Amino acid sequence: MTTKPDYLAIGIFVAFFVLVVVVGFLASRWKRTSEVTNLHEWGLGGRSFGVWITWFLVGGDFYTAYTIIAVPALVYAVGAYGFFALPYTIIVYPFVFAVMPVLWRAAKQQGHVTAADVVYGHYGSRPLELAVALTAVVATMPYIALQLVGMIAVLSALGLHGEIPLIIAFAVLAVYSFSSGIRGPALIAVLKDVMIYVAVIAAVAVIPSKLGGYGAVFDAADQAFKAKGSGGILLKPAQFVPYATLALGSALAAFMYPHTLTGVFASKSANTVRRNAMLLPAYTLLLGLLALLGYMGHAAHLNVTDNNDVVPELFKALFPSWFAGFTFAAIGIGALVPAAVMSIGAANVFTRNFWRAYVNPAISPEGEASVAKLASLAVQIGALLVILYLPIQFALYLQLLGGMWILQTLPSVVFGLYSQRLRAPELLSGLVAGLASGTWFIWSDGLKPIHHVALGSFSVSLYTGLLALAINLVVLGVVHLARSLGASRAHVSDSVPVRK
């Protein structure tokens, strides 16, 4: 990647970042329902967001700077397999439509702020609440770090290297999220998504015309994969099951993260959540167009040492500097919005399910907000330190594990919405079994997300997170059955008359 600074692009980039700072500060008063600062206000915006703001906020959480960089990079590297993100977003929206309004009602009625709050409200178990909360925070931390990876990619494309530009960007994130809470990223998400749509539509309209059309783009990608002997523009039969299970597992995990649930809980009604589930597929169209940039990288004959440089290099090579700066600003803001919501979601969990549960049960609403602000700052600093002082590959490995881990919380969070028959020890047993088995499989497979299962002559490769969830559910079912049989025997024993 070119190291010479592009001053025009840098100027456009800085101008939009200044706009972000201004909007972030102004957001502290937007739609505020009271003068009292509490966790519902700071962390959930007073549960007052309507359909459009929720749409931009959830989309901003879901389609992040790392998504914009990583999905085309994966398609550039492996071809069709990288498109798994498209079916998983299609699968997740019916799940959101059916489940999230029920979860929203449960949270609203009891004043819950986090999924772990909902779990404790259903089961009254501190150990299960702690397990769900700890899993959520640990799974979110590398996700925040990866947003900074997206930021590094665009800063490098601008010719800005070293730690200082990244630290400045982090300072912007810390200041506006500390001051405005969830309202800051909610407003900035509107700006970010409009910019991303403009950049992507321009890319899919202009880039192919400069490369000979879409036919030439697909042909160039096909030839590139054949030349290196791996990947392809079509899935191979052996990839069908891994592809499908990866999409399904990713879909089930997506709305278990604190940041996506924060967007749901901040909605003003269950109907708002449903309408968003109907509107969010528009982002899937955007994601499909983004993924095609990976193929365009082959057609443009890019020479990159890191696949994450594909999108920045495409815009640098095929667009004028001012538009490249505009696009890089969109991606950079696309890092700040989800990173802010992720840190706020993690801070909500820390405040409610660690601090209030174990340190200060009598904490005031204002005290909760103060603790959450400091916790969000600590989370952001932790993510920054990971990127500055640990290999980026370490954050990638943790994110891989994080997706598998957060998926294991689904039974604890969702099942209680529909049935009162399960008990906390059963769910905790399944959760621990899923976490332990999934971690072991990924570690033994060399930190890869696909595990090969062989039973006699039958063998299949599938997403490790989904396999771990199956083990989770089997253990949950066995423990539940054992408890039910024990209870039945005890009832029979109590009902048998004693002869005198």
Task: In whole angstroms, give the CA distance from residue 167 to residue 423.
Answer: 46
Q: What is the pLDDT of residues 126-183, one digit of tens each?
A: 999 999 999 999 998 888 877 877 788 888 888 887 778 778 877 877 777 787 788 8
Q: How many angstroms separate the CA atoms of 295 and 224, rounded?
A: 9
Q: Is the residue at 487 inside a domain?
A: no
Examine residue 196 and state whether it is found in any structural domain, yes or no.
yes
The tokens for 258 are 């604190």
Indicate whether 240 belongs to any domain.
yes
Smallest Cα–Cα separation from 369: which of 33, 35, 38?
A: 38
pLDDT higher for 128 or 341? 128
The pLDDT value recorded for residue 249 is 92
Sign of CA dihedral 66, 69, 73, 79: positive
Q: How far apart are CA 340 and CA 130, in angstroms?
A: 23
The one-letter code for the residue type at 175 is V
Look at residue 372 and tell me whether its pLDDT is greater than 80: yes
273 and 264 in contact (C-beta within 8 Å)? Answer: yes
Question: Looking at the 3D structure of the chain, how many domains does it have?
Answer: 1
Residue 162 lies in a domain: yes
Q: Is position 455 within any domain?
A: no
Give the CATH number, domain containing residue 32.
1.20.1730.10
Residue with tokens 């169209």: 285
Which has the closest alpha carbon to 412: 93, 126, 129?
129
Q: Are 395 and 152 in contact (CB under 8 A)?
A: no
Q: What are phi and psi of 499, to 5 degrees?
A: -75, 135
With respect to residue 153, please indicate whether it lies within any of the assigned structural domains: yes
Whole-model pTM over 0.85:
yes
User: Domain of 138?
Assistant: 7-391
Q: What is the pLDDT of residues 456-496, one digit of tens each?
A: 778 889 999 999 999 999 999 999 999 888 777 766 666 65
Backbone conformation region of residue 230, classed left if phi is above 0, alpha if psi is from -120 to 50, else beta: beta
Phi then psi for residue 461, to 5 deg, are: -110, 135
Q: Are 472 and 404 in contact (CB under 8 A)?
A: no
Tens digit of each residue's pLDDT (9 = 90 or more) over 63-115? 777 788 888 888 998 899 888 888 888 888 899 999 999 999 999 998 999 99
Residue 72 corresponds to which amino acid? P
Q: Is residue 321 part of a domain?
A: yes
> What single-letter DSSP state applies at residue 43?
H
Residue whose C-alpha is closest to residue 110's, from 391, 329, 416, 407: 416
3-state secondary structure at position 453: strand
Q: Is 67 exposed, middle or buried (0-12, 13-18, 19+ CB in 10 A)?
A: buried
Overall average pLDDT of the 310-338 stretch: 88
Residue 494 lies in a domain: no
